[in-house]
Copies of this chain bind each other. A is one copy, B any other.
Amino acid sequence: MRFFCGIVFQVRILSSDIKKHVGKTVKIQGWLHKKRKLGGLNFINVRDRRGLTQVLIEDKDEVEKLRGMQIGTVLTIEGTAADDDRAPGGAEIHGPKLTVEVPVTEEPPIEIDKPIDHKPENLDTLFEYRTIGLRNLQETAIFKVQSTVTKSIRDYFYKNEFTEIHTPKLLAAATEGGAEVFKLDYFGKESTLAQSPQFYKQMMVGVFERVFEIAPVYRAEPSATTRHMTEYTSIDGEMGFIDMNDLKSFLSGLLNYVVDEVWNEHETELKRWNTTKPVLPKEIPTISMEEIHEKYSKANKENSVGEPDLRPDEERWICEYAKKNLGSEAVFVSDWPASDMKFYHKAQADNPKLADRVDLLFRGIEITTGSMRENDYEVVLKQLKDKAGVDPKDPGFKYFLQAMQAGMPPHGGFGMGLERLTEKIVGLKNVKEATLFPRDINRLAP
């Protein structure tokens, strides 16, 4: 309460605190979320940032104030907090005095108080009315979880002495990718949008040793799939003076930490999606690609042995296998062929035909690729030429090579899509469902 010139102003009480004020007069503020009649009694639910408050309205004049008022109407309500086990949070408001702060007279164009079915044919409507549909608590839940995913990932980086960096997304030239790059006019010159902070984070290992960035990246992906978007939030980490075991330990710890934090904070939200807490051992198990091919081929009467990549069905199968047999819903896939390596990747020291790389699969899909980077300047030059077909004098690589020549320790890192991780944690089927305002070839608004 604020005291001013002898007048007592009620301070706003939030939904989850009503129970603490039972028997007292409280003021609440929020959005009309639901109106209903139950046995001749008028109830409304009021939504605030923490959830819902149930209000029982008996006075006819008060009921009258809500005539024609639709969901979304902004209300201030003063009334008495009362115990009621059937109300959200175990308490409700009785004898309310209502003030309509902002009337809403149009019905919402999308369901607000019942879950929206996320079947594929509904998604376009979901995104078209996103600014209002997100008020549905089922939708809000996804992004409350996502906020904590991001927070806990940063916590984990900080605990491990990473410095946060902000690298530019406006670049002079496309470097990593080929065709899938957005181009723009930059005062008469051509500029491209960053597809990843790969080179910057490697260069910054030479400065800070351990760096991370969580920021948007852009891919001019010309197809609309359940797995790709043209803009997403990339979680990038890079560390110096490590080896692959350190990187795997780091990623194991990271995923465990995120899952624990999210389940601690958001059991209510996760229950809305009937999702279970992922089973993860302290160290996520590693299986080589060849072993996966063999196991999969044996169990499924298929033959993937010798293939240089995993089939999507193999990714799903090995995750099921690991869940049943290794007590882990995540698995590292090791021993990728060096022939498919990016030029900045490093081959294994004792077997140069294999890349020093792991893919982390989680609940049926790859959520990140972790790799050791080549830190020998001469080898980087050679791989740039051999693997990327780039002349080392290409100005697009000037600064990266400058840094590589200035002394780079053994280093490695990973990049992970925030939206895909959120999708898997919540148990969704399309990465766009875990994106506030998704972007693909067909969608550039809202």
Contact = CB atoms under 8 A, between A and B. Distances in A.
Interface string A100-136: 0110101011000000000000000000011110110
A191 B48 CA distance: 35
Contacts of A225: none
A309 interface: no
Overall SS of chain A's interface: mixed
A198 interface: no
B407 A72 contact: yes
Given A102-B407, A216-B216, A131 B203 contact: yes
A74 interface: yes
Given A151-B164, A163-B147, A444 B170 contact: yes
A332 interface: no
A93 to B, nearest CB: 17
Interface in A155-207: 158, 161, 163-172, 182-187, 189, 191, 193, 200, 203-204, 206-207
A279 interface: no
B409 A439 contact: no
Nearest to A210: B49
A409 B102 contact: yes
Contacts of A143: 163, 165, 207-208
Interface residues of A, number: 92
Interface in A283-339: none
B206 A131 contact: yes
Contacts of A191: 444
Contacts of A185: 182-184
Contact of A132 (B106, B376, B406): B406
The interface centre, meaning the residue of A164, A203, A403, A410 with most chain B CB atoms within 10 A of its CB, is: A164
Contact of A131 (B140, B169, B186, B406): B406
Contacts of A12: 241
Given A436-B166, A444-B170, A408 B102 contact: yes
Contact of A135 (B161, B167, B207): B207
A275 to B, nearest CB: 19
Top 5 closest pairs, chain A to chain B, by CB? A72-B407, A399-B446, A49-B209, A184-B184, A131-B403
Interface of A: 12, 29, 31-32, 48-50, 72-74, 101-102, 104, 106, 108-109, 129-132, 134-135, 140, 143-144, 146-147, 150-151, 154, 158, 161, 163-172, 182-187, 189, 191, 193, 200, 203-204, 206-210, 215-216, 218, 220, 222, 230-231, 233, 240-241, 375-376, 395, 398-400, 402-403, 405-410, 418, 435-437, 439, 441, 444-446
20 contacts: A29-B409, A32-B407, A49-B161, A72-B206, A72-B406, A72-B407, A104-B407, A129-B402, A130-B399, A131-B207, A132-B406, A140-B207, A146-B164, A151-B158, A168-B231, A171-B444, A172-B444, A187-B220, A189-B444, A398-B446
